[in-house]
Amino acid sequence: MDSTSTAEQSAKDSPAEPSYGFPAVLWRALERHRPPGLGRSRVWRSPLRGPWLTSVFGAVLLVSLPIVIVTGLLSYIAYGPQFGQAMPAGVGWLRLPGFDWPAEPSWLYRLNQGLHVGLGLVLIPVVLAKLWSVVPKLFSWPPARSIAQALERLSLLLLVGGILFEMATGLLNIQYDYLFGFSFYTAHYYGGWIFLGAFVVHVAIKLPHLIRALRSRSLRTELRTSRAETRPEPAGSSDLVAIDPAPATISRRGALAVVGGGAALIAVITAGQTVGGFTRYAALLLPRGRAPGDGPNGFPVNRTATAAAIAPADTRSGWRLTLTGGPRPVLLDRAALLAMPQHTAGLPIACVEGWSTTQTWTGVRLGDLAALAGVPAPGSTRVRSLERAGAFGQATLQANQTLHPDALLALKVNGTDLSPDHGYPARIIVPALPGVHNTKWVRSLAFRRA
Ligand SMILES: Nc1nc2c(c(=O)[nH]1)N[C@H]1C(S)=C(S)[C@@H](COP(=O)(O)O)O[C@H]1N2
Ligand SMILES: [Mo]
């Protein structure tokens, strides 16, 4: 008799709805304290929302975001964390497996950064569309039905916050460059890891749903369905589907075209920054990716000589290049450098901001200068600029970067002397090196033994 009454009691206690994993008391309390306006709101009425549409956007991001993530991490390695010149310098246990960044092919960093920045920008409309497609979930109440779901929703916070943060900081950086000094890199780097973690969790949880949803409708059929024929996905298939759907104001085909068109537009106003030629005039999203004028020195300038506070007098006849690391320092003026064997190479400058430009450079091989200094096989090379302030004034090159046959101390570009803005009297130009380490207005090279 005792056992019967207990059973009856618990039958009354358990809610009519499915068991939610939380103790029933907690569940009911949450239900009772529903904030106004929350719940499966009838506000979200688009008949387009549903697991299929969300999964189409999700599938696009699933294949493309890993490229943005990996190129981002590779860019960090390309900066040379082994020399403490990647930002942030100390990353604790997040330290990536270090390796010498290759000096071949010469377009390696150009491709890496073009993909990272270009794809990152192009995906903005897709990310926004995906967020739009799941926005009702943001307002669902109770916020979670089980511990597992609570954790999942927490990961969503990091996922959504992470991607918006990365896109906003990335966008601001390419627009205003070093507006926030170097803290941009630190923020973008840690933000990237937070996003990466949340992304992995999200994919692990959602992949089966994504596959099922993609199979539930045929893309081909959707692309043939007009607005008038557009119907909501089956009610009850997911809480993404509107309870009280309004008539369609656009077809799914139309929605995909708007998002795809937005992405294509961004591609058009971005690609010119690295493709070059006349397309550069369309590189509206990247002020620095645009050329300042015509002529041999008419290609983008990151920072002008004036902005870098280079005194013209210091670059004229009194200028000397100092080579150290050997038995005694070697001093060379520009005439002495021009009297050495000259080598010409077509090499890109590829900025971390995504823009790049390929020019024909002429100058002395770094390997020849190392030999002249008495260190024919240096382990690394420390480059210093006349510019003393900030992180631009110096860079360290790896052995493979110093000894590559196309690695130059350039004196000329496209057959004429470097302009003051491009680093006269001499600048570094090394294949596949991140743009920032192609130091302008070079003052000294310190070769370090291996
Ligand atoms: N001394 C010095 N070198 C520098 C810079 C600088 O500001 N100062 N800018 C760097 C960056 S970030 C890039 S992308 C390239 C740009 O070279 P450019 O201005 O000749 O196109 O130069 C690099 N070398
Ligand atoms: Mo740069």
pLDDT tens-digit map of 270-279: 888 877 777 7
Residue nearest to atom 24 of ligand 1 (CA): 439
Does residue 441 have its Cβ closer than 6 Å to ligand 1?
A: yes
pLDDT, tens digit, 9 for 90 and up, residues 291-322: 677 899 999 898 899 999 999 999 999 999 99
Cβ(392) – ligand 1 distance below 6 Å: yes
Quick one: angle between helices 108-122 and 252-275, nearest 10?
Answer: 150
Q: Within its chain, how far is the Cα of 267 from the centroid?
A: 15
- pLDDT tens track for 156-211: 999 999 999 999 999 888 876 554 455 788 899 999 999 999 999 999 999 999 99
Residue 394: strand pairing partners? 384
Helix axes 124-138, 147-176, angle to 10 degrees: 150
Report the pLDDT value the prediction gives residue 4, as an integer from 0 to 100. 41
Which has the closest alpha carbon to 361: 403, 309, 405? 405
Ligand 1 lined by 439 (C-beta under 6 Å): yes
The single residue listed with the structure tokens 């104001």 is: 249
Element (DSSP H or E) covering residue 346: strand 343-350
- What pLDDT digit, counting tens, does each position of 235-269 carry? 887 889 998 999 999 999 999 999 999 999 999 88
Distance 170 CA to ligand 2 centre (A): 14
**Atom of ligand 1 at shortest distance to CA of 434?**
14
Q: Is the pLDDT of residue 76 over 90?
A: yes
Question: Is any ligand 1 atom within 6 A of the Cβ of residue 300?
Answer: yes
- 48, burial (CB in 10 Å: exposed 0-12, middle 13-18, buried 19+): buried
Q: How far is the CA of 307 from the centre of ligand 2 (A)?
A: 14
Architecture of domain 312-449: Alpha-Beta Complex (3.90)
Report the distance separating Cα 32 and Cα 34, nearest Å. 6
- CA gap 210, 263 in Å, rounded: 22
DSSP state of 46: -
- Cα(308) to centroid of ligand 1, in Å? 10
Pick from 286, 61, 330, 52: which is nearest to 172 by CA? 286
Q: How many CB atoms lie within 10 A of CB 97?
A: 5
- The answer to whether the CB of 422 is under 6 A from ligand 1 is yes
Dihedral angle, C-alpha 191, 432, 287, 67, nearest 10 °? -40
Cβ(308) to ligand 1 under 6 A?
yes
Q: Write down the pLDDT at residue 11.
A: 38
Helix ranges, 33-139 (H)? 51-78, 108-122, 124-138
Question: Which listed ligand is nearest to 356 at the C-alpha?
Answer: 1
Tell me, yes or no, if the pTM score tops 0.75: yes
Domains of the chain, by residue range, sit at 31-273, 312-449
Checking if the pLDDT of 289 tops 70, the result is no
Question: From CA 50, how far away is CA 337, in angstroms rounded?
Answer: 67
The neighbouring-strand residues paired with 383 are 395, 445
Strands 321-324 and 442-449, sheet pairing: parallel
SS (H, E, C) 216-273: HCCHHHHHHCCCCCCCCCCCCCCCCCCCCCCCCCCCHHHHHHHHHHHHHHHHHHHHHH
From the CA of 174, how far away is ligand 2's center (Å)?
10
Atom 7 (ligand 1): residue with closest C-alpha? 303
Q: Which of 353, 361, 408, 438 to mutate to test the pocket of ligand 1 (most atoms within 8 A of CB)?
A: 438
* C-beta 384 within 6 A of ligand 1: no
Mean pLDDT, rounded, of the chain:
89
Q: Whose CA is nearest to atom 19 of ligand 1?
A: 301
pLDDT of residue 124 exceeding 80, the answer is: yes
